[in-house]
């Protein structure tokens, strides 16, 4: 077994590998760029080596610097994590020449399966079902249009060396093929240094289901069941689960056997994933093989009890698999939510900044439910524009799918993140979505269920009652605490007022207190909006980020953030500003004029902090709805900003190469 390994990665996956290595008694070496000097993975490792500037192309993607770091520290092996150099056969070969072990498959398997074009050809030869498409290299947009017409729309344009949704575009007609081809090539070149793309048929109503395989150097190969990864946005996975609610035993067995056969065909040695597209009739087609550890591997670990990182290290050290196929049992259900630094209310555009508050739910197992949080940040960490916007991967495991989803809902409600925008409100809302809970999924789920983007949900009557109860009891406890402070000019000395009003949005909800015994905690009986009196219990204290307790029979985990004259309450994907006031004040408040936001309809605002790639128009130009105005790159993704209506460009305030802040005015319209 190795004495010391180097992790050629950053963020949560570097931290994840370090945890398993430490458990195995193996010393660890981290590498870091200028942007990651104070990162969590650097702190967790036994040693750390600086490898270059913030840009990945000058640090984490430079194999020579990784090898030099191994030589400096005496690391015997390299775990690449995912992304960066994890599927780079040349890097693997270079390590071998230096006598350093690559914790992953051999170069032969990486070359055969890591390139999407070559992997399709190889899968065809191995008699694996593949999606119809053109596997040759496409030269230009004209060639792409011709090929797409022959295959039949819709088609998927994909970067050969791609992954993580980058360099992928769906095209439904000729114009989208040409634009998608250009964008896919540009993203592929920027992200992977390889601008080759290919085209294949896009399966309508597809599910993305993948099989985890594990193989050693002694001819043993097994599969560890499947993961359902159909909840995607822009071809990037957001929520995954294991097992799939769609597969039956026969399909699971067939997919698993085919995945193992493919692994054997390329002499695969390590953990790997064979991805399939599955149609509504459970027909499955080979999509690609990822010759690395997957982002979503924790859900497989939770349902099988097998540490995949440990197995990768043992296989790389030459050990035989100690697990047979008959040993693999899928127990319970696991769900993973990817927490991204992106604003769900702005079409999920990236957000960067410092985590002023980061408090994940407690990990561990209680009452049959396990909560696990894989992360690479702590409170005070910075989310940079240079890397993937993932903050954490929150996982729950329970005996049943619904129990795992409910546990995830509670865990998301208790996950406090401040300082940046994030997608927790969307994830929390998704957990209560009827179609998701029923398991009726496809890769088009988000586009179909949120065609106009994600917007804050309006609380219904029951939810407003809970919000009002939480707000009023918290406000009364806050006032009670203030009155106990020394030096107060005029603390009240009479009985607690019984009648209050909670203003939620534009609604005024009356709350009557029937009984109270605060004693430093919340212990009230109250009636909301004329309803029956119910007990409200909580150990919340002023200043706590989480209000955990009960309102009647409803168990509540809500986040409270102070705002002017009130608080913002986040619960189950809802986010509401609530202000508590006496009835007389509420009557006056109703008379206050409503302040309207400024009119920005004649401006193109930068929707996220990013770099201007191109400006597609000029001053004085007439533009039709749908035409490209500008392209802005952020976190390795190119975002096309299009005209929402016919207009005339009156002024352009930015140029290619400019770094813009969110809401910076790119151009103005006449």
Mean pLDDT of 375-381: 96
Range with the lowest mean pLDDT among 7-11, 111-115, 149-153? 111-115
Give the model confidence (pLDDT) of 127-144 as tens digits: 888 888 887 778 889 999
Dist. CA 72–CA 159, nearest whole Å: 35
> How do strand 499-504 and strand 507-516 relate by DSSP bridges?
antiparallel
Closest to 85 in 3D by CA, of 291, 282, 317, 312: 291
> How do strand 221-233 and strand 166-171 relate by DSSP bridges?
unpaired
CATH number at residue 39: 3.40.50.20
Mean pLDDT of 606-610: 87
Are 567 and 609 in a shared domain?
no
Whether residue 374 is contained in a domain is answered as no
Q: What is the pLDDT of residue 146?
A: 92
pLDDT band at 126 (very low <50, low <70, confident <90, very high): confident
Are 582 and 469 in a shared domain?
yes
Q: Is the peptide bond before 567 cis (omega within 30 degrees of 0)?
A: no
Give the model confidence (pLDDT) of 482-539 as tens digits: 777 777 666 665 567 899 999 998 999 999 998 766 566 788 999 999 999 999 999 9
Helix 116-125 vs helix 107-114: crossing angle, to nearest 10:
100
Is 94 in a helix, a strand, or coil?
A: helix
Give the model confidence (pLDDT) of 213-224 as tens digits: 999 999 999 999
Mean pLDDT of 443-466: 91
Q: Which single residue is written with the structure tokens 């699971």?
A: 252
CATH number at residue 151: 3.30.1490.20
Mean pLDDT of 573-579: 93
Are 465 and 561 in a shared domain?
yes
Whether residue 423 is contained in a domain is answered as no
3-state DSSP helix/strand/coil percent for the chain, to nearest 5? 30, 35, 40
Mean pLDDT of 458-468: 94
Q: What is the pLDDT of residue 595?
A: 81
Whether residue 55 is contained in a domain is answered as yes
Q: What is the pLDDT of residue 142?
A: 92
Cα–Cα separations (whole angstroms), residue 47 to 6, 41, 160, 313? 9, 10, 35, 19
CATH number at residue 660: 2.40.50.100
Q: Of 201, 223, 239, which marks where a domain is finished? A: 201
- Greater confidence (76 vs 280) lies with 76
Whether residue 289 is contained in a domain is answered as no
Whether residue 665 is contained in a domain is answered as yes
Give the model confidence (pLDDT) of 312-347 as tens digits: 999 999 999 999 999 999 999 999 999 999 989 888
- Greater confidence (127 vs 284) lies with 284
Are 514 and 574 in a shared domain?
yes
Q: What is the pLDDT of residue 196?
A: 85
Are 471 and 582 in a shared domain?
yes
* Structural domain span for residue 568: 461-485+495-589
Q: What is the pLDDT of residue 183?
A: 87
Dist. CA 471–CA 645, nearest whole Å: 42
- Pair 275, 227: CB distance under 8 Å: no
Q: How many residues are present in the chain?
A: 670
Q: How many CB atoms lie within 10 A of CB 489?
A: 4
Q: What is the pLDDT of residue 163?
A: 65
Q: Of 201, 232, 247, which marks where a domain is finished? A: 201
Dist. CA 454–CA 426, nearest whole Å: 7
Domain count, the chain: 4
Q: Of 554, 589, 624, which marks where a domain is finished? A: 589
Whether residue 79 is contained in a domain is answered as yes
Are 170 and 58 in a shared domain?
no
Are 152 and 35 in a shared domain?
no
CATH number at residue 567: 3.30.700.30
Whether residue 528 is contained in a domain is answered as yes
Whether residue 94 is contained in a domain is answered as yes
Residues carrying an active site annotation: 288
Mean pLDDT of 360-383: 96
Are 581 and 651 in a shared domain?
no
Are 573 and 515 in a shared domain?
yes
Give the model confidence (pLDDT) of 168-190 as tens digits: 889 999 889 998 998 888 888 88
Q: What is the pLDDT of residue 493?
A: 58
Dist. CA 156–CA 148, nearest whole Å: 9
- Chain mean position to CA 61: 22
Are 499 and 582 in a shared domain?
yes
Are 87 and 179 in a shared domain?
no
Are 479 and 563 in a shared domain?
yes
Q: What is the pLDDT of residue 490?
A: 63
- Pair 392, 383: CB distance under 8 Å: no
Average pLDDT of the residues of the chain? 92
């Amino acid at each position: 077994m190795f004495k010391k390994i180097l992790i050629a990665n950053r963020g949560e996956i570097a931290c994840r590998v370090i945890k398993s290595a430490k458990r195995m008694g193996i010393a660890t070496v981290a590498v870091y760029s200028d942007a990651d000097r104070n990162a969590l993975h650097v702190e967790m490792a036994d040693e750390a080596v600086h490898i270059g500037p913030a840009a990945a192309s000058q640090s984490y993607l430079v194999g020579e610097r990784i090898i030099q770091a191994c030589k400096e520290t005496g690391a015997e092996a390299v775990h690449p994590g995912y992304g960066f150099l994890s599927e780079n056969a040349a890097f693997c070969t270079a390590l071998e020449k230096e006598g350093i072990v690559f914790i992953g498959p051999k170069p032969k398997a990486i070359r055969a399966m890591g390139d999407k074009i070559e992997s399709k050809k190889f899968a065809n030869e191995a008699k694996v079902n593949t999606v119809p498409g053109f596997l040759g290299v496409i030269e230009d947009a004209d060639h792409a249009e011709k090929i797409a017409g022959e295959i039949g729309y819709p088609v998927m344009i994909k970067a050969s060396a791609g992954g993580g949704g980058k360099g992928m575009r769906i095209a439904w007609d000729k114009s989208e093929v040409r634009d998608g081809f250009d964008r896919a090539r540009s993203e592929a070149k920027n992200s992977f240094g390889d601008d080759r793309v290919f085209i294949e048929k896009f399966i309508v109503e597809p599910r993305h289901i993948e099989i985890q395989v594990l193989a050693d150097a002694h001819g043993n190969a097994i599969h560890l069941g499947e993961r359902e990864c159909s909840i995607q946005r822009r071809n990037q996975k957001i929520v995954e689960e294991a097992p799939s609610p769609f597969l039956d035993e026969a399909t699971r067995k067939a997919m698993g056997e085919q995945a193992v056969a493919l692994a054997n065909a390329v002499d695969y040695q390590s953990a790997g994933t064979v991805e399939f597209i599955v149609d509504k009739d459970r027909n499955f087609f080979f999509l690609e093989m990822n010759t690395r550890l997957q982002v979503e591997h924790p859900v497989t670990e939770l349902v099988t009890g097998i540490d995949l990182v440990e197995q990768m290290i043992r296989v790389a050290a030459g050990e035989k698999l100690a697990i047979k196929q008959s040993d693999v049992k899928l127990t319970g259900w696991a769900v993973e939510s990817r927490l991204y630094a992106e604003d769900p209310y702005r079409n999920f555009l990236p957000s960067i900044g410092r985590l002023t508050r980061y408090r994940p739910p407690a990990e561990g197992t209680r009452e049959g439910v396990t909560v696990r949080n894989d992360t690479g940040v702590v409170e005070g960490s910075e989310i940079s524009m240079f890397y993937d916007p993932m903050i954490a991967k929150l996982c729950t495991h329970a005996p049943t799918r619904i129990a795992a989803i409910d546990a995830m809902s509670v865990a998301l409600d208790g996950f406090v993140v401040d300082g940046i925008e994030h997608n927790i409100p969307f994830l929390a809302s998704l957990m209560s979505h009827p179609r998701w809970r029923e398991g009726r999924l496809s890769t088009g789920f988000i586009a179909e269920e949120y065609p106009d983007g994600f917007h804050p949900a309006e609380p219904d009557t029951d939810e407003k009652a809970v919000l009002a109860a939480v707000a009023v009891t918290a406000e009364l406890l806050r006032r009670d605490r203030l009155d106990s402070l020394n030096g107060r000019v005029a603390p009240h000395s009479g009985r607690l007022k019984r009648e209050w009003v909670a203003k939620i949005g534009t609604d005024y909800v009356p709350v009557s207190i029937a009984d109270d015994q605060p004693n430093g905690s919340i212990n009230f009986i109250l009636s909301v909006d004329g309803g029956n009196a119910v007990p409200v219990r909580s150990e919340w204290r002023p200043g706590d980020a989480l209000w955990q307790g009960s309102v009647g029979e409803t168990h509540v985990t809500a986040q409270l953030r102070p705002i002017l004259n009130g608080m913002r309450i986040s619960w189950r994907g809802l986010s509401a500003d609530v202000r508590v006031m006496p009835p007389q004040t509420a009557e006056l408040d109703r008379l206050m004029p409503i302040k309207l936001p400024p009119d920005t309809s004649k401006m193109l605002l930068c929707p996220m902090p990013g770099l201007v790639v191109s400006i597609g128009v000029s001053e004085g130009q007439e533009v039709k709805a749908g035409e490209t105005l500008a392209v802005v790159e952020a976190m390795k993704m190119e975002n096309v900003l299009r005209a929402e209506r016919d207009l005339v460009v009156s002024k352009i305030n930015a140029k290619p190469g400019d770094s813009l802040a969110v809401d910076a005015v790119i151009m103005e319209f006449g």
